Structure 1
Amino acid sequence: MSTGTDVKNTELNMSMDDNLSMTKKQPSKKGLCSTRHGLAFILQLCNFSISTQQMSLSIAITAMVNHTATSSQSNASIERPPTDYYQDYWNETLKEFTAVAPTYDWSPEIQGIILSSLSYGSLLAPIPTGYVAGVFGAKYVVGAGLLISSVLTLFLPLGADAGVAPFIVLRVIQGIAQVMVSTGQFSIWVKWAPPMERSQLTTIAISGVSLGTFVVLIAGGFLCQAIGWPYVFYIFGGIGCACCLLWFSLVYNEPRNHPFISSSEKSYILHAVAQQDSLPDWSLPIKDMVKSLPLWAIVVSYFCLFWQFSTMMAYTPTYFTYVFQANVRDSGIFSALPPLTSYVCVILGGLLADFLSSRKILRLITVRKLFTAIGVLSSAVVLLILPWTKSSFSTTLALFVLCSSFSSLCNSGALISFVDIAPRYAGFLRGLLQNFSYISGAISPTAAGFFINQDSERGWRNVFLVTIAVNVSGLIFFLIFGQAEVQHWAKEQRITHF
């Protein structure tokens, strides 16, 4: 027999259902002016800051070492970068560096270790970071990581003066702090991103990585040449500190707590997110995760895709410096073009992926595999051609741009699939996957440095061939075992899972 309370509850539930149904039909602020898109652009700025701090050394190291520009290639038929002051100006630049900032005798092997050191300390940090962010919220985890990384960036010039070991230690600690940003942010999208907008929101945020890489490469060379390489770290570390103020002021873990969000947009997000079992949980189905082939497919993809990303980001400026003897300013400008196109392609790829899946043109898993396949296979073809174009600068630059553009499509493929299969554990899984990406990031530049040090002529070709082999292997594994449906172990709450 119904009571008065039951009747009231029933009426309340019906009213809420009606409101949610109306909100679902007419989602509020579906453009870039919505609060959730504003959050995506704030995260883009945070990723921009972290990326500039990660890439600062890649451009600055060409000025920090006093032998990077040496090259045995004297073939007059090689097409040079389009500059009028080429070789003479390079020698003058080296003298300016000696006067403006100190240089160091770091061999290619030492340089590879230093470039990889950012990943060394990050191997254990992503898993606990993702877990904590998933349970307690990402606001303070991401904000603290950005602040620590920015402050440490300011101290890197002092670390380099102190020696290789202190410099590596600072880079290791900085890597741990950056993990807090790159891992913790995905916990926000579990509560803020409607499933059909997940690709575009995450790719808008992630595109900050490419934008930051572009800016630091194109500006870093000018800074190194004009006022010295230490100011690369001072300026981008300071920008990161400023971003922290914006982050702590405007970001909230959930839509229900945001003071500026409209009630209609809040209802729309809450209703959309409620359709999936995404409530974070303290318990972890470890055994089921270990036995999950779809999860392993994403893990392998992360390792393989970040092998190429880490190698190209770390060594692109050095490649232009070594092969074409470009000075540090020109090397930065040329190296900045691939990330610029990647920035555009990441966003366009996310919009296209959401369009294909939301309009039911392709199944979600088909979209994920298609974008991953195009990204991997196209960039593999480019890398295969690259060693044979050393005589043409313009062709080489075009190939680098194409490689970066194609590989960026993977951000709408395998790299976002973990949110599809287990939204409940998105923070933890992002940490786990970051762990494998940092392992890859620690190995690949070191391996590249070894190949180049062993054979300066054939070393680059071996670097590209190994990258192709690793990337294609990961693609095959993902095509066979990858899925996009929520897995059974991510749907139920467990008590013990060990």
Structure 2
Amino acid sequence: MPLPNGYSINSAASHESEDREPLIKNDAVPPQCCSARLNLAVLMFFGFTVVYGLRVNLSVALVAMVNTTDPKPAQNTSVIHACPLPPGMENTSDTFQQPEGTPQYPWDSETQGWLLGAFFFGYLCTQIPGGYLSGHYGGKLFLGLGVLGTAVLTLLTPLAAQQGSYWLFALRALEGFGEGVTFPAMMAMWARWAPPLERSRLMTLSGCGGNFGAFVALPLTGYICQTLGWPAVFYLCGSAGCLWAFFWFIFVSDDPRTHRRISKEERDYIINSIGSQGTGHGWFVPVLSMLLSAPLWAIIVTQMCSNWSYYTLLTSLPTYMNNIMHFDIQSNGLLSALPYLGAWLVSTLSGVLADYLIERKVFSVTVVRKLFTLAGLLPCAAFLVAVSYAGCSHIPAVTFLTLSTTIGGFSASGVFINQIDIAPRYAGFLLGITNTFGTIPGIVAPIATGYFTGDHTLAGWRKVFWVAAGINVFGGLVYTVFGSGKIQPWAITEEERDAEKRSASIST
């Protein structure tokens, strides 16, 4: 179907034979540098940097918030299970040093596990409603309010902790409730903004702000805890979220059609390359067809499996570094952050590589998504197993943990953006569905980790890593068999069906 300004896209019939992408002449593509779509990706990147900072700061701060790691240690735990201190730290005190007068609380391992998982109880409640409403109205308002609401609640964390663990649990659940709309809103926005041949790089650039946020927040939290005390962590992180929301509401638009600073050339390019899939889905969504869709269930199962290991490390790695490796709070934060620096870099590069393979037609979209998913899941599982046998060797353990999460970044260009391939128009709603299921490991994994590691032994942590590795492998196998990059029949618009009929009549 020819389009103005030299664009040409395939008819809707192409989904039946091969998952192709729109064919766009290279000289007709406006440059990404300083473009409205790239500016949106960068602002989203910083938004998710803040979002993950708000999410993970408790993981490190909790080490400073408790007056002992476990006030009631297991009576039968032998000292032979405890790792020695790192070289040069044998004579240092285990007591955590922070400004005088900073409050601490007697929360045991199980309580800490529940507090780390509390965020996800709220987080899963707003995924589907957030995706549905973002797909209908646009994602700007929901993403902006999601970050702003979470930031404001974060400012209240020291007060909630002072009232008791139940109050802190409730506050963290409310934070998750507000933040749950953010990723579905992002997906809904990219359904209107991301040209198909640029989906991987734009979406991984914006989404990998989460890994960058974890990389920045983990060591920064440790430093702030020691210098200013743990309450300052939540005051500073909450303020950063409020500042980001100010710029978001000023500079962002839901749709390229309504953006005030976009060039006509770029606006036409985006609208014409996406076609009718780049519009709101209305109030009706084909829920039954979605529930019977094998490619959608492949995404759900695989994301749940991948998130198990990701959330295990995200919430519990600082505890492992403290209880087993015995690193001080600043070293703990820095070493816990290293895996996310690697994941950020690999995720960003994977988006560029995935788009290159699709644009050059080296592989179909389906093959690209499966390759990147397997490249992220299987090596990650192997390195988690290696960690379980590294024992008290500090350098190998940290190296394997870093490589596990780093290589896991490849799946950012695989299963984690696959919703927009199979149903662009419903991408926000689908991500709400998949993220709802994908959040379940965020609740269960920290609790399971607390259960396995209640006695602070290497044997307990070995179970944690083996379970995560096995679940990863299972997810990779499911996606290999059932995953797809083709747009599904239930996602085709009436306009595309009419175009398909016209194309068929012309050909006959």
> Are 1:153 and 2:140 an aligned pair?
no
For 2:207, the equivalent position in structure 1 comes to 206
Work out the number of aligned pairs and report it. Answer: 477
- Give the match for residue 262 of structure 1: 263
Cα distance, 1:90 vs structure 2: 4.0
Q: Does 1:386 align with 2:387?
A: yes
Q: Distance in 2 between matches of 1:428 and 1:133?
A: 8
Q: In the alignment, which residue of structure 1 is the partner of 2:339?
A: 338
* 1:299 maps to 2:289: no
Is the alpha carbon distance of 1:98 and 1:277 closer, same or farther for their aligned partners in structure 2, counting shifts above 3 Å? closer
Shift of 1:390: 2.2
Which residue in the other structure is 1:190 paired with? 191
Provide the residue aligned with 1:123 in structure 2: 124
Instruction: Give 1:68 shift.
Output: 2.0
Q: 1:204 to 1:395 in 2, by over 3 A?
A: same
Match of 1:371 in 2: 372
The whole-number CA distance in structure 1 between the counterparts of 2:221 and 2:290 is 42
Letter of the 2:392 partner, please give it. S
**Do the aligned residues in 1 keep the contact of 2:7 with 2:28 (CA within 8 Å)?**
no
Higher share of residues assigned helix: 1
Question: Quick check: 1:234 aligned with 2:235?
Answer: yes
Structure 2 CA distance, aligned partners of 1:246 and 1:240? 10
**Larger displacement relative to structure 2 (179-188 or 145-154):** 179-188
Deviation at 1:359, TM superposition (A): 0.6
User: Displacement, 1:117?
Assistant: 0.3
Rounded to whole Å, the distance in 1 between the matches of 2:42 and 2:52 is 15
Q: 1:73 to 1:335 in 2, by over 3 A?
A: farther
1: CA distance between counterparts of 2:5 and 2:433?
Answer: 40
> In 2 relative to 1, CA 227–487 (structure 1 residues): closer, same or farther, beyond 3 Å?
same
- Report the counterpart of residue 111 of structure 1 in structure 2: 112
> For the residues of structure 2 that align with 1:378 and 1:76, how far apart are their CA atoms?
28
Distance in 1 separating the partners of 2:392 and 2:115: 30
User: What letter is aligned with 1:490?
Assistant: A
Q: Deviations over 1:331-369 (max 9, x none)?
A: 001111111111111100111111111111111111111
Deviation, structure 1 residue 18: 4.4
**1:88-487 matched pairs, under 5 angstroms:** 88-91=91-94, 94=96, 96-97=97-98, 99-274=100-275, 276=277, 279-453=280-454, 456-487=457-488
Residues 36, 420 of structure 1: CA spacing in aligned structure 2 closer, same or farther, 3 A cutoff? same
> Cα offset for 1:260?
1.0
Q: Cα offset for 1:223? A: 0.6
User: Can you give the 5+ residue segments of structure 2 that lack an aligned partner in the other structure?
Assistant: 9-22, 496-508
The change in CA–CA distance for 1:152 and 1:272 in structure 2 (over 3 A counts) is same
**1:103: Cα distance to partner?**
1.1
The answer to whether the 8 A contact 1:47-1:209 is kept is yes
The alignment-based identity, stated in percent, is 34
The residue aligned with 1:5 is: none
1:190-236 Cα deviation digits (max 9, x unpaired): 11000110000000001110111011111111111111011111111
TM-aligned CA distance change 1:277 to 1:149, over 3 Å:
closer
TM-aligned CA deviation for residue 74 of structure 1? 5.7
1:24: how far off? 4.8
Q: Structure 1 unaligned segments of length 5 or more: list them.
A: 1-12
Q: Offset at 1:182?
A: 2.1
Q: Distance in 1 between matches of 2:234 and 2:82?
A: 37
What is the rounded CA distance, in whole Å, between the counterparts of 2:222 and 2:189 in structure 1? 35
Quick one: which amino acid aligns to residue 141 of structure 2? Y
Q: Is the 8 A contact 1:80 1:393 kept in 2?
A: no
CA contact (8 A) 1:80 1:392 kept: no
State the alpha-carbon separation in 1 of the partners of residues 380 and 438 from structure 2: 18
Q: Which amino acid aligns with 2:227?
A: A
RMSD value, Cα: 2.3
Give CA deviations for 1:153-179 in whole Å, capped at 9, x if unaligned.
Answer: 110011000001111111011001111
**Could you tell me the TM-score, scaled by structure 1's length?**
0.91
Name the residue aligned to 1:64: 65
What are the equivalent positions in structure 2 for 1:43-58 lying under 5 Å apart? 43-58=44-59
- 1:196 partner amino acid: L
Partner Cα separation in structure 1 for residue 459 and residue 24 of structure 2 = 61
Amino acid at match of 2:426: Y
1:402-460 CA distances to partner (integer Å, 9 max, x unpaired)? 00111111111111111100111111111111111111211111111111115633110
What corresponds to 1:17 in structure 2?
4
Aligned residues of 2:48 and 2:213 also touching (Cα < 8 A): yes
Deviations 1:236-289 (A, max 9, x none): 111010000110011101111111111111111111111757652321111111
